Structure 1
């Protein structure tokens, strides 16, 4: 594509890899097999997919996760992202962007159309909103891996993800009962800001309802 980054291939590769890492950490429980394997790699400093600025922070964070018990981490994941009587940090964009604070809202439909226009499908095997934070990060990685135009990657971030994710991460950090999720939210916020700078994008200003 003519508007892909020609001189920053390594940066885009790192962006894709980190999007996968954060996508997994926010989509699946930290106690799940896939994230446990990832955490083991982080703790051993053997993973090479992160940007250098994040390697030490991630290694330290992996040690924090190891100190939090399995039951505590599972409880935190449930209260934050699944919820009993209340869900403290809903991970779907439409909850923040739609006035009714519903999932599968108008902004979800708009994002779904954006994905289809770019020939991207996310099949998780479940009927769930595509604008889940972790899934959107997986989409970012997919866009890069499939060598979509840089303009499309920027649009995904500036028009669909960064419009609400900072508020989401703020709620994760505020309501998390474990140091693991508190620090993960801060790491993700730092990374999102770094991506904004890397790609020179500014999120669209949209009204948030939560």
Structure 2
């Protein structure tokens, strides 16, 4: 493995962890607030889209961000942009569908544990990005990382990001969905991935 590959993997691991946190916990969560503050002050990110996004988050009311998080990630009567993969890949649009089961087996096979203390589907978008970070942190073979993206995440995430951009009420979540979607496209190109073809029901 060349030095450039190592640097790319380190960057991939860091960004997967960052975006995982931003898409799993509320933006108003204290850890995310610390993260956003650090990103906004990172000289290496000066004038970047990420820093522009940080400014957007800091300009919006916490109550508005929390309300958006509830609607997008926890759900009112209708979930307009469900954050779980099987809702998109299962004909019945259910959580804990067949794709969740397949993904769970993949995680077990590679000794990845995502213990959140709750009984929730492992194919939540933020948790999947945490899994990417863990795989790289454990120095798993790059082919394993590629398999997670191509067979489990990229199969549905672009549609999910479209729905978040369409239905989010705050610019923070609209822009976050766009940022992570663009990052996924960059990863797909970098790792030369062809996502597994799956019919989507959303």
Q: Distance in 1 between matches of 2:175 and 2:5?
A: 29
Distance 2:135 2:95 in 1: 24
1:43-122 equivalences in 2 (<5 Å):
43-45=40-42, 56-122=48-114
Equivalent residue for 2:174, pick from 177, 182, 185: 182
Contact 1:172 1:185 survives alignment (8 Å) = yes
Q: How far did 1:55 drift?
A: 6.8
Moved over 3 A (4+): 4-7
Q: Are the equivalent residues in 2 in contact too, given 1:5–1:150 (CA < 8 A)? A: no
Task: Say which of 119, 128, 136 aligns to 1:127.
Answer: 119
How many residue pairs match? The answer is 202
Unpaired runs of 5+ residues, structure 1, are: none
Match of 2:13 in 1: 16
Deviations 1:99-151 (A, max 9, x none): 11111111100000011111211111111110000000000000001011111
3-state DSSP class of the match of 2:48? helix
TM-score where L is the length of structure 1: 0.92
Cα offset, 1:28, TM superposition: 0.4
1:8 match: secondary structure: helix
Matched residue, 1:35 = 32
Q: 1:5 to 1:208 in 2, by over 3 A?
A: farther
RMSD: 1.5
Can you give the 5+ residue segments of structure 2 that lack an aligned partner in the other structure?
none
> How far is the alpha carbon of 1:155 from its aligned partner?
0.5
Match of 2:197 in 1: 205
User: Deviation digits for residues 56-98 of structure 1, max 9, x if unmatched?
Assistant: 1111110000111011001111111211111111100000000
Distance 1:19 1:125 in 2: 21
- State the partner residue of 1:191: 183
Alignment TM-score, normalising by the size of structure 2: 0.96
